[in-house]
Structure 1
Amino acid sequence: MVRIASVNVNGVRAAFRKGMGEWLEAGDFDVVALQEVRALDEDLLPLVPGWHVLHDPATAKGRAGVAVLSREPSIEHRTDIGLKTFDTKGRWLEADFLHGETLLTVVSAYVHSGGEVGTPKQDDKFRFLQSMGKRLPQLRAHTDHVVVMGDFNVGHTPLDIKNWKGNQKNAGFLPEERSHLDRFFGTGMVTGVDGVRGRGHGWVDVGRAAHPDQDGPYTWWSQRGKAFDNDVGWRIDYHMASPALASTARDYRVERASAWDTRWSDHAPVIVDYDL
């Protein structure tokens, strides 16, 4: 059994001040993917003694950043998603592990939050999602056992956002964004919610497979008002697994904090046991 967690920490130093360290040590995790680390190596490494650490900080200090923590060392890692038109540092980190004779690849991904359609922020988000679609078949060719995890900043369907009707023109629930996930998770030829037709990649949304007809379970809540207390959330953090790995998934869970003031991030960890 391999226990793999993913969480957007919303700044790792602040998260550790609020209790992330206790969560990390109590979880019995084999691999932990982090997003929005917002730190340098000299900030991150002292926080996680005993872990093997792969870290790709963003070029801009205090922004983005992805990491993979593991109990066993990786045999190889990569940070190039293949997109050359703008800086993607701190957003994509692949790590290979040997589990017995099985090659397991885990990816920590942090998709752009985006903005209004037509702005550079949203254009970058579309380009990054397109690059993910190009990279996914290459990962499947690399090994049958792959999981791409992290903050995709997209709610796929109305089940993934509490107030979906009011967000159809907002970044995170735009039809053009959601159609990328239609293709990631679809099989055969897929017509996305934006009407664009393309070939599905056949990956598995492990969270939705575990909860096929349930609202949520949500993984992010706005800091405004009482969104967390009222569970007015978004499911934007994913385990996207290749079919071979998804077939081994057990005990998917979102570790929602017991109360607003016990949270150490505005995202909740997403944890899956894979029976390899």
Structure 2
Amino acid sequence: MQHHQNPSQTPFSQDIRIKGVFSTTAPQSVGFGHTKRKVIQNVLVYAVEEEDGKISIQSLNAHFMPTGTVKMISRDNLLKNYLPEPDVYISKVYPAMRKVAKAVARGERHLRNNETFSAEIEFKTALRIDEENIRATFGLGLSYLARGDTQRGGIVFRRLVRLNAAFEPGHKHMFNEFGISLRKNKMYPQALKYYARARSISGDDENLFFNMARTFQEKGRVSLALKFVSKALGINPNLIEAQKFKIFLENRLAKKNGGNS
């Protein structure tokens, strides 16, 4: 079994990365009207030292999973204003994170085997503990779309479009796969909105443009498809699929224009 460093044992020297649960006190308002008063409450956060030495902190939800907005603070701020809570990390947070990771891994394995109902159960298990888990959200949507459940797939699509983190470079293969599934289910407006969202966050990408071209072609918008496949080849001229697709589109357009003359 892999040994995980106990945060209470770290001397916080500059060569050791900080990772664990910390607590701090924060004033909170309780009560209403004339009974309203300020109380000092203990707040738990999950802290991870990034490569640049800054500390990212996130609140813990009711299931002890890091959730919500990531806030960056300095190492000095952490050590001055926060207390390490190694017991909470070891007994609550680490087991919760492990449970989510295992459920997601099982779900993805079921999905690869086309066992979409079993996959759905696993992804929902993960999302009950960590409702913002990107991989579980993608997985749930893919489970629905794999069996043609476009109504539930559409619900997950709307949720994903709101999550900025879904379109980070590390999730590129997942958002490409999800967009392809939307297209295959003939959810063309959703697929195009989804790709536009991905592009606004992750920037121009040859696979993104190629997938947009495929979507436009299936919608019957051949000229637009040609425009986007050309953009894909502008980024990566060696994309063989795009080269073949461009020839196919040019032939279709030539036939269409020839038929109109």
Return the structure number with greater relative CO, CA threshold 8 A, min gap 6: 1
Higher strand share: 1
Please classify the TM superposition score into its range, dividing by the shorter chain length. under 0.3
Q: What is the TM-score normalised by the length of structure 1? A: 0.25
Higher helix share: 2
Q: What is the TM-score normalised by the length of structure 2? A: 0.26
